[in-house]
């Protein structure tokens, strides 16, 4: 089974606030699993192994796997033993992460693979909710956009659920079937424009950036609220332009979101748009391509969006990116779930 990584096309940072929109793309670099019946529980990955008494324990390197298994066990008790193998395409040959997500995809992959092995059928929304509950149990909630992409595939509009409501109701036996306030996961047509991905060959730790972002939000709530509204305006414009096949509208929205992220960087004093990311964006904009950071910045990836008939621009862009030590990733939209 294959489970996709993700790229944020729009809505970074603001998506952490429940009800604020983002656009997320599932990518065809994946976490891959194989599962079969065996005499004793065994889970094997490049980060470690779980078996027997360690199965539900936070073993070094396997914490997300154990959390996923505990969540499955909460709703569908583990009975028949299995052997589960987990492999990742979300890293370079030197084991550097691309910034396409990993921990969230692993959680989805483990939950879905085990339920499939036990022939338990649940909806995609219920699978998403189980993955969120696994993160919550670890006190490592992401925006959920990574989980939604891993579950639904394609390109989606994503808005986060009401976090406080979830923390109040997480122990409810009906939590998978309750409506989660503010949660929105809707597909966007994924064949209108093409996304080209550049990797800066440096890795950022999103959690530390988000801690700084939240601290500034507590210190300066008025500016924080104004920033959120600015993000919503850009993302809504992007979605409307995308749905109308309006490339100039998409390009303009991306340009404005770049400015928005620069404002966040100034406000937080974070190095969100690094020298490499600036080069990635500016080399794209010279060719009249929409471009921006994907994710929290500080490294990882950036994207350029183009019209399919303008592929010759991408050939030129790759040459410019290469001069700036930016690696073009061979990444497409993951559509397997269709």
Determine the 3-state secondary structure of 248 from DSSP: helix
What pLDDT score does 93 carry? 64
If one counts every other C-beta atom within 10 angstroms of the C-beta of residue 258, the result is: 22
> Please, what's the largest Cα pairwise distance for the chain?
60
Phi and psi torsions of 211, nearest 5°: -60, -45
pLDDT at 95 over 80: no
pLDDT in tens, 215-248: 999 999 999 999 999 999 999 999 999 999 999 9
At 24-37, the pLDDT tens digits run: 999 999 999 999 99
Q: CA distances (Å), 298 to each of 6, 28, 215, 330, in order?
A: 17, 23, 18, 22
Tokens for 273? 């748009």
**Residue in this structure with the two tokens 């092995």, named with its chain if needed:** 117
Neighbours of 305 (CB within 10 A): 22
Q: Give CA–CA dist 298/323, Å, rounded.
A: 20
Structure tokens at 62: 């396997």
Average pLDDT, whole number, for the chain? 94
Distance from C-alpha of 23 to C-alpha of 185, rounded to nearest angstrom: 10
pTM exceeding 0.85 = yes
CB atoms within 10 A of CB 32: 14
What is the per-residue pLDDT for 203? 83
Of 218, 22, 3, which Cα lies nearest the Cα of 89? 3
In this prediction, residues 89-101 reach a mean pLDDT of 77
pLDDT band at 101 (very low <50, low <70, confident <90, very high): confident
**Higher-confidence position of 203 and 259:** 259
Note whether 27 and 101 are within 8 A (CB).
Answer: no
On the question of pLDDT at 258 being above 50, the answer is yes
Give the model confidence (pLDDT) of 39-68 as tens digits: 999 999 988 899 887 788 888 889 999 999
Burial (CB < 10 A; 0-12, 13-18, 19+), residue 54, is middle
Residue 338 has pLDDT above 50, yes or no: no
Q: How far apart are CA 121 and CA 45, in angstroms?
A: 25
- Residues 153-199: pLDDT tens digits? 999 999 999 999 999 999 999 999 999 999 999 999 999 999 999 99
Residues 87 and 252: their CA atoms lie apart, in Å, by 38
- What are the tens digits of pLDDT across the range 80-94? 999 999 999 987 666
């Amino acid at each position: 089974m294959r489970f996709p990584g993700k790229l944020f096309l729009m809505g970074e940072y603001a998506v952490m606030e429940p009800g604020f929109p983002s656009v997320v793309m599932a990518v065809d670099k994946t976490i891959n699993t194989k599962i079969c019946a065996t005499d004793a529980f065994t889970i094997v990955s490049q980060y470690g192994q779980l078996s027997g008494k360690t199965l539900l324990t936070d073993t070094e390197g396997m914490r997300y796997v154990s959390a996923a298994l505990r969540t499955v066990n909460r709703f569908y008790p583990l009975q028949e033993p299995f052997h589960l193998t987990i492999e990742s395409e979300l890293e370079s040959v030197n084991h550097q992460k691309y910034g396409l997500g990993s921990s969230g995809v692993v959680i989805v992959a483990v939950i879905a693979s085990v339920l499939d092995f036990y022939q338990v059928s649940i909806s995609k929304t219920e699978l998403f909710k189980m993955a969120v509950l696994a993160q919550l149990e670890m006190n490592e909630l992401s925006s959920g956009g990574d989980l939604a992409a891993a579950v639904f595939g394609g390109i989606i509009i994503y808005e986060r659920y009401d976090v406080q409501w979830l923390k109040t109701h997480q122990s409810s036996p009906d939590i998978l079937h309750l409506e989660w306030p503010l949660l929105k996961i809707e597909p966007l047509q994924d064949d209108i424009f093409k996304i080209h991905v550049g990797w800066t060959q440096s890795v950022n730790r999103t959690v530390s950036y988000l801690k700084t972002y939240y601290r500034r939000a507590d210190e300066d709530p008025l500016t924080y609220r104004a920033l959120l509204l600015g993000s919503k305006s850009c993302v809504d414009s992007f979605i409307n332009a995308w749905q109308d096949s309006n490339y100039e509208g998409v390009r303009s929205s991306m340009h404005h979101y770049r400015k928005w992220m620069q404002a966040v960087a100034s406000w937080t004093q974070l190095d969100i748009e690094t020298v490499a990311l600036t080069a990635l964006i500016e080399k794209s904009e010279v060719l009249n391509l929409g471009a921006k950071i994907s994710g929290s910045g500080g490294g990882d990836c950036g994207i350029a969006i183009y019209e399919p008939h303008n592929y010759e621009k991408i050939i030129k862009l790759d040459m410019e990116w290469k001069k700036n030590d930016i690696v073009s990733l061979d990444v497409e939209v993951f559509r397997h779930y269709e």
